[in-house]
């Protein structure tokens, strides 16, 4: 049996579905296969972290000091005010850099890509984010933005997801990559995740509504 360690850094105002869209699919891998994906929710301390929307609190499994190596780094997004704060949070950004050094896969969903970009981990890579914050990602000139609408984008060992619910598809893709498509499909069956993808595209956004600290 192979085991993969997944690390999800948390911060105040992190989006709840950005977290569980990875944690829940990964947790079912052991149910349907001889493999295991162990997910750790990690924060600066193990005190409860308030999520958005709704303020539900989650309890981290580990603190930054307790774990410094993971196989898969998954960086979730959060509400705009929280992302603005975390973009200036050197403790969090440095921790993300530390985890990335030994991670086989460096991934994010939604505005988590802005944190990866600020940490310099998307330089030279194609990446995406929630449609509403694409103008913010474009403020990082060394990040490549692919044409069209993408639920997630894979470039090398970087995988970045669009908004919120796209994290489920991204997590299933990660399972496919590191284990197999059959295992991913078995997890899909448990989740009963069979979305009818509309031909309609999400709206577009012209202005970045997050203060990135960049011009």
SS (H, E, C) 25-77: HHHCHHHHCCCEEEEEEEECCCCCEEEECCCCEECCCEECCCCCCCCEEEECC
For residue 11, being part of any structural domain is answered with yes
201 pLDDT band, cuts 50/70/90, is confident
Q: pLDDT tens for residues 58-89?
A: 999 999 999 999 999 999 999 999 999 999 99
The one-character DSSP state at 200 is P
For residue 202, being part of any structural domain is answered with no
Q: Which domain holds residue 154?
A: 3-191
Q: pLDDT tens for residues 45-54?
A: 999 999 999 9
For residue 32, being part of any structural domain is answered with yes
Quickly tell me which residue has 């999800």 as its tokens. 8
Q: Is the pLDDT of residue 215 over 70?
A: no
Q: Which of 76, 156, 145 is nearest to 116 (CA)?
A: 76
Number of H helices, E strands in the chain: 8, 10
For residue 210, being part of any structural domain is answered with no
CA 68 to chain centre: 18
For residue 179, being part of any structural domain is answered with yes
- Domain total of the chain: 1
Q: What is the pLDDT of residue 213?
A: 77
Q: What is the CATH number of the domain that holds 14?
A: 3.40.50.880
Query: What is this structure's pTM?
Result: 0.95
For residue 203, being part of any structural domain is answered with no
Q: Angle at CA 102, nearest 5°, toward 98 and 108?
A: 70
Question: Can you tell me the distance from the alpha carbon of 106 to that of 71, in angstroms, rounded to the nearest whole number?
Answer: 9
For residue 212, being part of any structural domain is answered with no
Q: pLDDT tens for residues 155-190?
A: 999 999 998 899 999 999 999 999 999 999 999 999
For residue 204, being part of any structural domain is answered with no
């Amino acid at each position: 049996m192979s085991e993969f360690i997944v690390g999800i850094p948390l911060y105040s105002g992190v989006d709840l579905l950005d977290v569980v869209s990875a944690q829940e699919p990964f947790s079912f891998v052991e149910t349907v296969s001889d493999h295991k994906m162990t997910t750790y929710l990690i924060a600066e301390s193990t005190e409860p972290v308030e999520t958005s929307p709704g303020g539900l609190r989650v309890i981290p499994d580990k603190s930054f000091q307790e774990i410094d190596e993971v196989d898969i780094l998954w960086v979730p997004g959060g509400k705009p005010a929280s992302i603005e704060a975390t973009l200036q949070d050197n403790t969090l950004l440095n921790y993300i850099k530390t985890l990335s050094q030994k991670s086989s896969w460096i991934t994010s969903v939604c505005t988590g890509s802005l944190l990866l970009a600020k940490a310099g981990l998307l330089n030279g890579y194609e990446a995406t984010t929630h449609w509403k914050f694409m103008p913010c990602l474009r403020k990082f000139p060394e990040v490549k933005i692919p044409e069209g609408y993408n639920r997630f984008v894979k470039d090398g060992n970087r995988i970045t997801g669009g908004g919120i619910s796209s994290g489920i598809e991204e997590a299933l893709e990660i399972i496919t990559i590191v284990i197999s498509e059959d295992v991913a499909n078995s997890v899909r069956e448990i989740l009963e995740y069979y979305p009818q993808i509309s031909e309609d595209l999400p709206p577009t956004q012209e202005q970045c509504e997050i203060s990135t600290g960049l011009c």
